[in-house]
Amino acid sequence: MNKFVNLLKKEIKEMITFQLIVSLLFTTGLFYFIGVIAKSEIEKVAAERDVYIVDLDGSQESKVLIENLSYAGFKTNLLEEKDKSAALEYASGNNLDLLIVIPEGFSEAASQFEFKNIEAYTYIRSFSISSSASTALVEGVISEINRYISNSFLKEKFPDIDPDNLKNPIKSTDFVIVRDKMAAGSAAEVSSIVYSQSIFVPIILMMIILYSSQMVLSAIALEKQDKTLETLLTVPISRNYIVIVKMAASGLIGLISAGVYMLGFRYYMSGLMGNMPSSGQANELIQQLGLQFTPNDFVLLGISLFLAILCALGLAIILGVMVDDLKSAQTMILPLMFLIMIPYFISMFSDINSLSLPVKALVLLIPFSHPFLASQNILLGNYNIVFNGIIYMLAVFIILILIAGRIFSTDRVLTVKLRFGRKRTMKDN
């Protein structure tokens, strides 16, 4: 056991390099920085925007119309200019974003159902997220004006009827059914809540798997590059210990690295999504539908994630035996990355059940697909699929670890190589 700890300490010391720490801090800082910028841009978009209006009509009706815009939540500013060109000149000179021009004779024409166009001038001064919000603002203002005018007409003709009932006579009440549970709400709302709650699971999983695999591949590649592997293989320690220690240290460092990166990513996402808390109503809907993880569900999800990491480490250690140096290790990580990216993108953007049978079978053969699908299947109560996935990953891990142990206990650990372009032969003096 002491030998095991001795080796584990050495592996961890070797892996925690200055470069690793700098890279972790830099990326986390970068994510934080982007998150802060995104947050400030989104706050600008969400903030109440000024609407500048020049009223060339000057009628009582147009004044009421402008007042109504204030009641609807727009921050209106009436310009004193008496013609359009003067108003545009003022807007340019004072860096205004949006100018609404109510044309002369607007109210009179409207009273005869001959509508004149309201002109909206939007100034583009940058191409940031906040500048794109002006379009939505124009649409909002015009929509509110339309609503006000049409409601006024309808009220005049049908004073006892709510204008909204005339415009939208049929209304629907949405219900969502998940398994045997039903609740009032829209499917889009439920999907959106579940998606926002589980968006981090595949990202975390992908990062941990990639980092751990990269670590174990690099650990073996470095032993070969620095010519330390031969010495290590002749010390009195079980070869299986060497395999397990490399996996354990890589898994641990991979987990820490992914954790630190996720901290930065969390800043980034909270900046982008504005740290939106779920409303009480939304939580109630999720509770009614039973779309919440129980403690047992978390354990199941954890086992699934853990086995996927072990499978990745097992595969990476076998691939690591075939490389000679860090450069070839970077190439060797590619097939593993593809195996992880396929289920990652499928779980993010598609439904595995909608795939054709051969493609579905192919995806399920990839052990890393199962944890990506586990969270969805747990929520939907498809526990058999989750259990089968766990059993499959366990079987794959046992096979991989037996292969890795076998390779390390024979001379294949020194003789097996994949060739990258140049021809190599084993040294033999």
Residue number with CB closer to other proteins (385 or 403): 403
8 A C-beta contact, residue 243 and residue 317: yes
Q: Minimum CB separation from other proteins for residue 421, in Å?
A: 21
Site for other proteins in 62-91 (CB under 8 A): none
Residues 423 and 169: their CA atoms lie apart, in Å, by: 78
Report which residue type is found at 234. T
Who's near 407: CB < 8 A, 6+ residues apart?
A: 318, 321, 413, 416
Residue number with CB closer to other proteins (351 or 411): 411
Token readout for 385 is: 């699929």
Residue number with CB closer to other proteins (177 or 235): 235
- Per-residue burial over 33-58, b = 16 or more CB atoms within 10 Å of its CB, e = otherwise: ebbeebbebbeebeeebebbbbbbbe
**Listed residue (67, 61, 57, 142) closest to 98, CA to CA:** 142
Residues 224 and 418: their CA atoms lie apart, in Å, by: 14
- 191 near other proteins (CB under 8 A): no
Q: Minimum CB separation from other proteins for residue 8, in Å?
A: 11
Pattern 394-423, other proteins, x by CB under 8 A? ----------------xx--xx--------
- 2 near other proteins (CB under 8 A): yes
How many residues lie near other proteins (CB under 8 A)?
27
- 236 near other proteins (CB under 8 A): yes
Could you tell me which stretch among 3-11, 213-221, 283-291, 320-328 binds other proteins (CB under 8 A)? 3-11
8 A C-beta contact, residue 393 and residue 307: yes
Residues 74 and 51: their CA atoms lie apart, in Å, by: 7
- 240 near other proteins (CB under 8 A): no
Q: Minimum CB separation from other proteins for residue 412, in Å?
A: 10
Out of 1, 170, 357, 426, the residue judged to bind other proteins by CB under 8 A? 426
φ, ψ of residue 376 to 5 degrees: the values are -65, -45
Residue number with CB closer to other proteins (104 or 325): 325
Token readout for 349 is: 């953007």
Q: Could you count the other beta carbons within 10 Å of the beta carbon of residue 361?
A: 10
Question: Strand 175-178 vs strand 181-184: parallel, antiparallel, or unpaired?
Answer: antiparallel
Out of 36, 86, 187, 235, the residue judged to bind other proteins by CB under 8 A? 235
- 233 near other proteins (CB under 8 A): yes
**Listed residue (292, 299, 339, 294) closest to 315, CA to CA:** 339
Residue number with CB closer to other proteins (168 or 429): 429
Site for other proteins in 255-294 (CB under 8 A): none
Which SS3 state, helix, strand or coil, does residue 24 take?
A: helix
Out of 192, 228, 281, 292, the residue judged to bind other proteins by CB under 8 A? 228
Task: Catalogue the E-assigned strands of 159-274.
Answer: 175-178, 181-184
Residue number with CB closer to other proteins (6 or 132): 6
- 6 near other proteins (CB under 8 A): yes
Residue number with CB closer to other proteins (9 or 181): 9
- 10 near other proteins (CB under 8 A): yes
Residue number with CB closer to other proteins (70 or 415): 415
Token readout for 314 is: 């097992």
Residues 275 and 165: their CA atoms lie apart, in Å, by: 36
Site for other proteins in 18-57 (CB under 8 A): none
Q: Minimum CB separation from other proteins for residue 420, in Å?
A: 20
Q: Minimum CB separation from other proteins for residue 228, in Å?
A: 5
User: By the criterion CB under 8 A, which residues form the site for other proteins?
Assistant: 2-3, 6, 9-10, 13-14, 17, 226-228, 230-231, 233-238, 410-411, 414-415, 426-429
